[in-house]
Structure 1
Amino acid sequence: MSGIGGTVRRAGSRLVMVVWLFAVWLLLWGRADALIAAGGAVAVAAVSVLTRTPATPSIRRVRPLWFAAAVLEFAWDLLVSSLVIGWHALYRPRRVRGAIVEVDARTRSELILLAVTTSISLRPGTLLVDPDWDRHVLHIHAMPVRSQREADGARNGVLRTEERLMRALVTAEDTESTREDR
């Protein structure tokens, strides 16, 4: 019975991903009419047939207060990074230095890693360069970085983002890895 339940759960999870891809298609076009919807259905069907559409990662629990705090902290980070990059762009454009910073993620959840990489890539001054999903290592380009201290600060900023998201979203992978660490 668990085999059938697991199969149904996986199929439902993949269906969620297909619906998500279709929604993204519509958002990219910015409008929805019959031709765009039909094209999206064909594109999503082709992606589903030609690739192994991943299952939607499972979230065991969302902690609303921690999630709200994570959203507010992201908004604050967005504001501060925008001001820093704007200041450097206007007053010191030739002196801005960047660096590739390696970050060892603590999470084992692909969902949390995806949320972290999306969050840091949305902020001015940071960009995901090379994720190593198997080793849970992220390589990011950060600016301004003129010293080891600033590189460490960029790394710590990514780790703080990861920590916020791990507090807000409880995933099966992180729950299992926490149990294994004990």
Structure 2
Amino acid sequence: MTGPGPDGTPPQGVRTRLGRRRDRLIAVGWLVLVWNLFWGDFSWGNLLGGLLVAAGVLLFFPLPPVTFGGRLRLRGLVVFGVRFVAELVRASLHVARIAVQPGYVPRSAIVAVRLQVPTDLNLALTAEVLSLVPGTLIVETDREAAVLYVHVLDVHGPADLAAARKQIRIVERRIVAAVGSEAELRQVRSVPVDKESS
């Protein structure tokens, strides 16, 4: 077993184990919180029940480890939040106009977009954000290839498909700018958002 690094940090294996324990504790905390919110009452019985349910879920339904290797950036978070709210309002108005327009039948399409950062966390965050915006919905994910299949509303031709792919890549770039690592940030900035996925 190797000793601490020159700067006093623990060796890589110890950091990995500590990271896994931290992630499990965070997952238990969230599950206990959700359990208590479901019951609508924070009591000792619900806290104990939440702990038992959380332990059972993590024991019998283990998820693949998703470790946060990035860092929070205040500017990126603010930009992401402002742009997300603006996109939410714009998309809501667009869907509302389609809903009330007499006789208009919108055409839909499913676009496949390969993400630039193929991590489980980036895949999950990008999929969640896209699903929250009216008019887009995740219908399938390919975890191995880091590809999202997104249902897009009101498509008129190839230009709209290209615009949808570009918008998905912009969303990914904003997420990475808010919470990604330096390497991930360089990775998404190295490829233009309007470049077709290979």
TM-score by length of 2: 0.78
Distance in structure 1 (CA, Å) of the matches to 2:36 and 2:110: 34
Cα deviation for residue 117 of structure 1 reads 0.7
Cα deviation for residue 163 of structure 1 reads 0.8
Contact 1:96 1:144 in 2 (8 A): yes
Q: Partner of 1:142: helix, strand, or coil?
A: strand
Q: Once the two structures are aligned, what percentage of the paired residues are identical?
A: 27
**2:113 corresponds to:** 103
- Segments of structure 1 that go 5 or more residues without pairing to the other structure are none
2:179 maps to 1:153 = no
2:137 partner letter: L
Compare 76-85 and 35-44 and name the one that shifted more. 35-44
**2:141 corresponds to:** 131
Distance in structure 2 (CA, Å) of the matches to 1:10 and 1:173: 21
Larger proportion of helix = 1
Q: Partner of 2:149: helix, strand, or coil?
A: strand
**1:141 corresponds to:** 151
- Segments of structure 2 that go 5 or more residues without pairing to the other structure are 3-10, 192-198
| Partner deviation per Cα, 1:81-107 (whole Å, 9 max, x = no partner) | 000001001114651221111111111
For the aligned residue pairs, the C-alpha RMSD in angstroms reads: 2.5
The 5 Å alignment of 1:51-70 reads 51-70=61-80
Highest CA radius of gyration, 1 or 2?
Answer: 2
Contact 2:73 2:177 in 1 (8 A): yes
The 5 Å alignment of 1:1-182 reads 1=2, 2=11, 3-92=13-102, 94-171=104-181, 174=184
Contact 1:62 1:170 in 2 (8 A): yes
TM-score by length of 1: 0.85
Q: Displaced runs of 4+ in structure 1, greater than 4 A? A: 28-31, 175-178
2:97 partner letter: W
Q: Partner of 2:71: helix, strand, or coil?
A: strand
Contact 1:66 1:167 in 2 (8 A): yes
